[in-house]
Amino acid sequence: MTYRPPTPYAPPRRPSLPPGLRPSRRRPRLTRRGRLALLLGALVAVAAAVAVALPLLLTRDEPAVEQPRALLVPEGWRAGQVYRAVDRSLGLPEGTTRKAATASATALPLPAAAGGNPEGYLFPATYPVLDATTPEELLRFMVDTAGKRFGAARIAEGARAHGMSVYETVIAASVVQAEADNPEDMAKVARVVHNRLARGMALQMDSTLNYALGRSTVDTTVEDTRLRSPYNTYARKGLPPSPIGNPGDQAVDAVIRPADGDWLYFVTVAPGDTRFTADYATHQANVAEFNANRGAEKG
């Protein structure tokens, strides 16, 4: 038997890997696209952090913005109603806005024909109100709005076409606004006003008496028609000396573009049933029907 010396120990070798799978000793390098993706990811993360922090900073450092309240002035409201609404909206003692309306310091931009009376020029609309708003600012806003609406060329042209000034048109529109409650009837009432003025007849409008008496009613007595007042259009011919309320666009449009008709009389016999006629006997019959309806309502 032949002797063989022992084989020296050698640690096992790892199996050789193909070159493409051998681990690299170099640090990995990003491609150009990879670097761009990493940069965009970082920017997105920063933007998200700012978006979260910014509202917190604004809430902490900036005061909250006051939201305006709305003051609604409906078509046909009289100046007194507007004054009371402004006082309530601003939390002021009653009478504060009325005093401001005629104070020389307020200097409302009214037409000369108004003689300082803002009736008719407190334009019906919705107005924004803040805690710091003053009666003078609100009144000036309303009168400015009326001046722009009534100052339109079509209104001046329409007034001239009927032999009226713009101020007289506003007066007539305030009567129309008080006497009718829809555009169709407004156009017919405006025609009655024009027809009566053209014939030299008294307007005989209950709305003007109501204004003089500080009330609103459909019941007019013979005693009422004897009232000594320039607003008594039963006893006094022509338009009243000033508007009797604040008309809206529809009433003004009715005056400058009235309906065609020969009507001289009208009466609202029942809600939604206003009858127009040029015949006095027919009008008397309509009035009798109105009185019967009113009697039934009160009974």
pLDDT band at 288 (very low <50, low <70, confident <90, very high): very high
Q: Give me the pLDDT at residue 62, please.
A: 64
Q: What is the mean pLDDT of residues 199-208?
A: 97
Query: What's the sign of the alpha-carbon dihedral 38, 44, 48, 51?
Result: positive
The first and second tokens of residue 181, run together, are 């409650």
Asked if the model's pLDDT at residue 86 lies above 80, the reply is yes
Asked if the model's pLDDT at residue 53 lies above 50, the reply is no
76: left (phi over 0), alpha (psi -120 to 50) or beta: left
Burial per residue of 247-259, b for 16 or more beta-carbon CB atoms within 10 angstroms, e otherwise: bbbbbbbbbbebb
Q: Give me the pLDDT at residue 299, please.
A: 67
The first and second tokens of residue 71, run together, are 């003051």
Question: CA-based Rg of the chain, rounded to a whole angstrom?
Answer: 40
Q: Average per-residue pLDDT in the chain?
A: 85
Burial per residue of 142-174, b for 16 or more beta-carbon CB atoms within 10 angstroms, e otherwise: bbebbbebbeeeebeebbeebebebbbbbbbbb
Q: Give me the pLDDT at residue 60, please.
A: 58
Residue with structure tokens 């005061």?
63
Query: What's the sign of the alpha-carbon dihedral 239, 242, 244, 246?
Result: positive
Q: Give me the pLDDT at residue 297, please.
A: 77
Q: Give me the pLDDT at residue 218, please.
A: 85
Percent of the chain with pLDDT over 70: 79
Q: Give me the pLDDT at residue 130, please.
A: 96
Q: What is the mean pLDDT of residues 179-189?
A: 97
Q: Give me the pLDDT at residue 296, please.
A: 79
Which residue has better confidence, 286 or 65?
A: 286
Which residue has better confidence, 66 or 232?
A: 232
By mean pLDDT, which of 27-41, 71-85, 130-144 is the weakest? 27-41
Q: What is the mean pLDDT of residues 167-187?
A: 97
Distance (Å, whole) CA 17 – CA 58: 61
pLDDT band at 134 (very low <50, low <70, confident <90, very high): very high
Which residue has better confidence, 5 or 144?
A: 144
Asked if the model's pLDDT at residue 295 lies above 70, the reply is yes
pLDDT band at 49 (very low <50, low <70, confident <90, very high): very low
∠ Cα 242 144 146 (to 5°): 45
Q: What is the mean pLDDT of residues 51-76?
A: 73
